[in-house]
Amino acid sequence: MTSRETRNREKVTKERTREELIYSVLSLPVECDSRVKHLVEIINDLPDVYTCSSCGGHPDGENRENPAPDGCFYIQFIAEPTEQGFMSLGIIDLAARNLDPDSIMVRVLNTTDSPRLVMFHILGRSGADPDAMSEEIRDLCKEWGVSTKGIWDSKKKTRRKKAAKRIQRFPS
């Protein structure tokens, strides 16, 4: 296998952008497992970070898409390559390391063949507590002066405006 070949990666065109992925994430109504609900909410309230999918863990993985085992959880997210996006990513990572670096990890997750669509994921195992992670993120936001008030609504409005402008550029 050469370095240019990829295994198990979604093929995407160069035109597919992070912008389109974020817009689709904000446009779809998504259910969230109650176990990770607070963590998903606080991550979505961080500047320039967008959750894509999550699972709170299930004793039976049958008939579920990408299930995490019981006692485990995951959250996939995108961090914009901005100063605020990197600060938010740093807070998420620091929260995981402060709580339990053996049970909660933040890793790069690139499921495509495009370096423009790099995502991240939080993996919790061995009974790691997503609510404790939520509280640690809140505490770190206060410590580092990162406001989460109104961020989610602002992100949705901004992305909708960008998407509308983009759509208007294409003739029908």
| Cβ-contact 139, 99 below 8 angstroms | no
Collapsing DSSP to helix, strand or coil, 66 comes out as coil
Please give the structure tokens belonging to residue 93.
């990572």
Structure confidence at residue 117 (pLDDT)? 72
Which pairs from 30-37 meet CB under 8 Å and 24+ separation?
33/57, 33/73, 35/73, 35/130, 36/73, 36/75, 36/130
Q: Tell which wins on pLDDT, 158 or 142.
A: 142
Over residues 97-119, the mean pLDDT reads 85
Whether 98 has a pLDDT exceeding 90, the answer reads yes
Q: Tell which wins on pLDDT, 172 or 124.
A: 124
Query: Would you list the DSSP string of 78-134?
Result: EE-SSHHHHHHHHHHHHHHHHH-TTTEEEEEE--BS-GGG-EEEEEE-TT--HHHHH
Helix and strand totals (H; E) in the chain: 5, 4
Nearest to 49 by CA among 39, 62, 57: 39
**How confident is the prediction for the chain on average, in pLDDT?**
81
Query: Would you list the DSSP string of 38-49?
Result: HHHHHHHTSTTE
Whether 2 has a pLDDT exceeding 60, the answer reads no
Torsion angle defined by CA atoms of residues 57, 62, 67 and 69, in that order, rounded to the nearest 10 degrees: 40
Structure confidence at residue 131 (pLDDT)? 97
State the residue for tokens 């997210």.
77
**Residues 121, 127: Cα–Cα separation, whole Å:** 17
Place 50 in a pLDDT band, splitting at 50, 70 and 90: confident
Whether 60 has a pLDDT exceeding 70, the answer reads yes
Q: Give the lowest-confidence range in 11-20, 89-98, 115-124, 153-162.
A: 11-20
Please give the structure tokens belonging to residue 109.
């997750």
Phi, psi of 125 (to 5 degrees): -140, 175
Q: Tell which wins on pLDDT, 116 or 89.
A: 89
pTM of model > 0.95:
no
Delineate the domains of the chain, giving CATH numbers in brackets: 26-150 (3.30.1360)
Q: Tell which wins on pLDDT, 89 or 111.
A: 89
